[in-house]
Structure 1
């Protein structure tokens, strides 16, 4: 072996070591470039560190070989013997580094795969978030349009409800759990005679006539949740009664508790009055037929009794007891004949004259007949007769009888007070309806509401026995109806503003003379 030449080996070792250093640096540079191209790629980063460890090992080993050869050529092999342990130790450290990197490759790959999976999940989440963001963006873009569309629908619905609430001719109201009125439409306020501000301060107990009806209203809502066609009586501001038909629905909170109600009340006062009038008309027609038959049957014997009593009066002395008894018979017979005459008038068995007449003259004649008795009771007569009052067609005697009867009724009402009073007689005419209107108003005790609808019934009277037959107003009603008019009553009487004052007002409405004689007969209207 000593005979072989070592130069080629040395040259090859030096060149190989140099090439090892060169190629190591090239590998390291290439790995570095890969990490720059894909900084987030785990494999390229791992490869870079492996290449770095191998490069360090290759440089250490190559440099050791080159140094060894050059020291051998220079004849300093002893010096290499001193450096060799250090070079070997450094090579060992580099080899350990490469081994360590290679040993943890598997764990690194697992970590990389786990990271990749998490990255994929994050990527999917990002995609979903991107989609959600895009949808949210689209929704946001269309949200204003949708809000505007929904607002328009709500506004339209609110306008419909508001129109129904304000334009309804029935009473529409809302109340809370304590039955305080939260809101009421204008028709309801007008029906009760209150302003909108005043109704906001009311409760249901303030407008129900009877307290028990409020309790019934609350119980029905609590049990059934609604009320269908409940007939009740409301109390108006002036104290008069309003008959209504109520339908209501309960309002609930989230826990299902009743927190209020919404209701509609229909005014039945006019319908109730018409029904009472119809019943009264049928009753009066029946009584009229009966009265006519009775009057004819009684009239003849009464005439005979009256005639014989008057003949017998001539046969006895005026101071005798028999004469006085006969006078009693005569007076009572005449009173009976008057009742019979009223019955005949009530049943319209007597004829009527038809002529053009001035209603003012009828009033003046009636005052002339009754004024003396009125003055005795300190009753002041006030005449407010319209000038140029159009004439009417009728029977002056019968109409005079109606006016006198109304004046006598007013006299009796104020006579009960014992303080005198004022009797107002008024005439006017309505150009639009072509009607002549006459009113007789007193400030007496008034007519109780519960008998208001009965005052025109035959034989109904509030006067004591012997003071009246109860046929006066019935006869008056028949006469006015026969003339194609109406007779109405108000008690108490309308005062200034929306107030009511004590007293009674009878209103006669008659057609003007230019209308045809065959006039449509109207029903009586009872107000108050």
Structure 2
């Protein structure tokens, strides 16, 4: 039986073993290069140890095959039989090592991933820490500048609020839950008459009417706000004020009400103007009625007066019938005087206006009335402006105004006193002040004194039309008339009992000096 030659197989085995050894060491060298580039890379570490195991295995197996071939071809089979168990054991051990490295790769890879994840987290945390450190460093560097800027902004904001709080003409207040005012602006203090040193004031005590207070509290607790509540407020030792309130409740973090803040607008002047407008409308209506009534009554009164005087001629002056007719005549004349006042009040009489010197008008009235005033213990003090401009008006009607004012002043000074008359010019106006030292006018009737038929005189002593007629005459002349009581002495500014009427008439801008000498020599020109 012929056999195949073994030489080709031996050559291939020899070359294959040498090639395996070369390639394994080449792989080992390459993995070592990777380790040097990235020492912490798990994959390259695994490949490096795997290449060591494979290089050792290839070296053991290739050297074993080469030695086997050399011994067999050198007829030293006995030596090979002695070495082959050791060669096989070494190859097996190295194969197991390579397998072990491969088996534990997955576990190592999981550990590597876990470690890498933790490393990434640490890296991210380190990045955040680094950014925080940079921000902290920047904050530390610019802290003073930032604090200064923030303080400036807060200061400007506080200044704006403070200016608004202090300079507002309305009442701005803050209260606690018991109604005690914790803060109030200057306008509020002035309006309520509170002293700067006053430490504790209860806002609820300022309400004049309990119904207004109950409505204020009810809306505040149920709605959390109060909108446009009209109330009457009583200040400390001052007049009653009409206030329009708007307020909001203040709550703490738990939603509990701990106080309120609000704004109050003083509506007293508007209320007064409204009442005056109502009075004006009422006076206009009464004037229209008075004109009709006066015309209807004037004719029969004239007939009654005429027939009474005819009858008086038929009786002796000392007879009882004559006396009775005299009473009828006197009362009829009184009725006609009332009718004349009504006509003046309704401004139905004709008006003849011309340029007038108001000082001369007053002096003419005093020439007629001053003697009577002196008899009743009333002294007239004059202080006339010698450069007073002219006014355009009806002399007869202006005479009537001053007669009414002087008569009312005399009535207010039962035991005598002083009437001070001051004339002056202000802002293209002529201002006449008629001041007396009488009993004064109570606050309760100040808004009524210009109403028709309103009088404080006893029955039969006044019709209540004097000031109403005067009011209408001054308005007809484009002026105003107002009253103040009590008053201040015009020179000493000390409080003085009495009343003062202020008449303002438009000036024509032309001064009259023709009658100055006669005017100012006719009476006392000083105020004492």
- The answer, yes or no, to whether TM exceeds 0.5 is yes
Could you tell me which residue of structure 1 aligns to residue 504 of structure 2?
509
How far does the alpha carbon of each residue in 1:277-322 deviate from its partner, in whole angstroms, 9 at most, with x for none?
2222222222111111111111111111101101111110112221
| 2:390–2:508 Cα contact (<8 Å) kept | yes
CA RMSD between the two structures = 3.5
How far does the alpha carbon of each residue in 1:338-365 deviate from its partner, in whole angstroms, 9 at most, with x for none?
0111111111111122222222223233
Could you tell me which residue of structure 2 aligns to residue 230 of structure 1?
229
1:475 matches 2:469: yes
TM-fit CA distance, 1:213: 4.4
How far does the alpha carbon of each residue in 1:23-78 deviate from its partner, in whole angstroms, 9 at most, with x for none?
xxxxxxxxxxxxxxxxxxxxxxxxxxxxxxxxxxxxxxxxxxxxxxxxxxxxxxxx
Report the more deviating stretch, 364-373 or 304-313: 364-373
| 2:354–2:393 Cα contact (<8 Å) kept | yes
State the aligned residue count.
Answer: 397
1:453 matches 2:447: yes
Report the more deviating stretch, 270-279 or 213-222: 213-222
The 1-side partners of 2:386 and 2:192 are apart by 36
Could you tell me which residue of structure 2 aligns to residue 306 of structure 1?
305
TM-fit CA distance, 1:398: 1.2
TM-fit CA distance, 1:428: 1.4
Change (3 A) 1:122 1:289: closer
| 2:192–2:238 Cα contact (<8 Å) kept | no
Change (3 A) 1:308 1:371: same
TM-fit CA distance, 1:242: 2.4
Structure 2 residues without counterparts, runs of 5 or longer:
1-110, 511-528
Structure 1 residues without counterparts, runs of 5 or longer:
1-112, 516-528
TM-fit CA distance, 1:506: 1.1
Change (3 A) 1:198 1:434: farther
| 2:193–2:238 Cα contact (<8 Å) kept | no
1:343 matches 2:342: yes
Change (3 A) 1:160 1:509: same
Note the 1:331-370 alignment, pairs <5 A. 331-370=330-369
1:328 matches 2:324: no
Report the more deviating stretch, 483-492 or 175-184: 175-184
Note the 1:109-508 alignment, pairs <5 A. 132-141=132-141, 143-192=143-192, 197=196, 202-204=201-203, 207-210=206-209, 213-214=212-213, 216-236=215-235, 239-415=238-414, 419-430=415-426, 433-494=427-488, 502-508=497-503
How far does the alpha carbon of each residue in 1:422-479 deviate from its partner, in whole angstroms, 9 at most, with x for none?
332221111xx11111112223333333332222121222222212111111110110
Report the more deviating stretch, 289-298 or 140-149: 140-149
Change (3 A) 1:502 1:188: farther
| 2:174–2:181 Cα contact (<8 Å) kept | yes
Change (3 A) 1:245 1:462: same
| 1:181–1:199 Cα contact (<8 Å) kept | no
The 2-side partners of 1:201 and 1:352 are apart by 60
Give the secondary-structure state (helix, strand or coil) at the position aligned to 2:458. Answer: coil
Could you tell me which residue of structure 1 aligns to residue 16 of structure 2?
none
The 2-side partners of 1:401 and 1:139 are apart by 85
The 2-side partners of 1:216 and 1:385 are apart by 55
Note the 1:98-113 alignment, pairs <5 A. none
Change (3 A) 1:434 1:465: same
Give the secondary-structure state (helix, strand or coil) at the position aligned to 2:316. Answer: coil
| 1:183–1:200 Cα contact (<8 Å) kept | no
TM-fit CA distance, 1:505: 1.7
| 1:425–1:441 Cα contact (<8 Å) kept | yes
